[in-house]
Chains A and B, each alone.
Chain A
Amino acid sequence: DGGITQSPKYLFRKEGQNVTLSCEQNLNHDAMYWYRQDPGQGLRLIYYSQIVNDFQKGDIAEGYSVSREKKESFPLTVTSAQKNPTAFYLCASSFYRDSEAFFGQGTRLTVV
């Protein structure tokens, strides 16, 4: 284990607040991804980035925002516009677009 780190492991947020999930990797990977995992729905792609200062929307980007200012970091902000933010969030990285993706341990976000 190691190489890609997500923090915190558990996060509680009040309705109407923005919250930022951290994802850091020291694997020198170019590509990074954010997924949301809900029971019975698999891994749904929120955002992905192939290089620094560039990122693309995934299938469920509404209510989320990202930045890629450094190769090692790809933080995800869950905004108040996300209607149902309670979920398990997974960050992943890979050397390039069609190689093994390594996942972080995940962050479980709960809206209270």
Chain B
Amino acid sequence: GENVEQHPSTLSVQEGDSAVIKCTYSDSASNYFPWYKQELGKRPQLIIDIRSNVGEKKDQRIAVTLNKTAKHFSLHITETQPEDSAVYFCAASTAGGTSYGKLTFGQGTILTVHP
């Protein structure tokens, strides 16, 4: 089955710096890669996603890149702000085979942005 590894587990940056979180996946059948943000005490919410036919996607200060050959994808946050502090999860959704429709998450990254 699919296995998603996420690094780093914790990330501390100064306000205004960039933050990068990386994930690798194991199942070449995966074709959808969302990123979720979970603030303390709240439910995870989608911040950006990318599909396997696209290499990069950007939404204001957030961008995601995908390298299908290497089976890894990354989240990039520029000009970080204290309100970006949260836990970030990557995930992969499998398109076919016995794991059809399975949405697997990484272990999460605790991002802290210091003012």
**Does A104 touch B at the CB level, under 8 Å?**
yes
Inter-subunit contact B34/A104 (CB<8 Å) = no
Q: Which residues of A contact B93 (CB under 8 A)?
A: 97-98
Inter-subunit contact A50/B100 (CB<8 Å) = yes
Q: Which residues of A contact B65 (CB under 8 A)?
A: none
From known contacts A97-B93, A98-B32, infer whether A106 and B100 are also in contact, taking CB-CB under 8 Å. Answer: no
**Does B112 touch A at the CB level, under 8 Å?**
no
Of B56-64, B69-77, B101-109, the one with at least 4 CB within 8 A of chain A: B101-109
**Does A19 touch B at the CB level, under 8 Å?**
no
Q: Which residues of A contact B20 (CB under 8 A)?
A: none
Cα separation A40 to B89 with both chains bound (whole Å): 12
* A contact residues, range: 20 to 34
Of A21-29, A41-49, A67-75, A78-86, the one with at least 4 CB within 8 A of chain B: A41-49
**Does B31 touch A at the CB level, under 8 Å?**
yes
Q: Which residues of A contact B107 (CB under 8 A)?
A: 40-42
Cα separation A87 to B103 with both chains bound (whole Å): 20
Q: Which residues of B contact A96 (CB under 8 A)?
A: 101
Q: Which residues of B contact A97 (CB under 8 A)?
A: 32, 93-95, 100-101, 103
Cα separation A60 to B106 with both chains bound (whole Å): 15
From known contacts A98-B51, A98-B93, infer whether A42 and B102 are also in contact, taking CB-CB under 8 Å. Answer: no
Inter-subunit contact A98/B105 (CB<8 Å) = no
Inter-subunit contact A103/B45 (CB<8 Å) = yes
Inter-subunit contact A56/B31 (CB<8 Å) = no
**Does A110 touch B at the CB level, under 8 Å?**
no
Cα separation A45 to B95 with both chains bound (whole Å): 17
**Minimal beta-carbon separation of B58 from chain A (angstroms):** 18
Inter-subunit contact A45/B46 (CB<8 Å) = no
| CB 8 Å contact bits of B8-43 with A (1 = contact, 0 = none) | 010000000000000000000001101000000001
5 A-B contacts (beta carbon < 8 Å): A42-B89, A56-B102, A97-B94, A98-B51, A104-B43
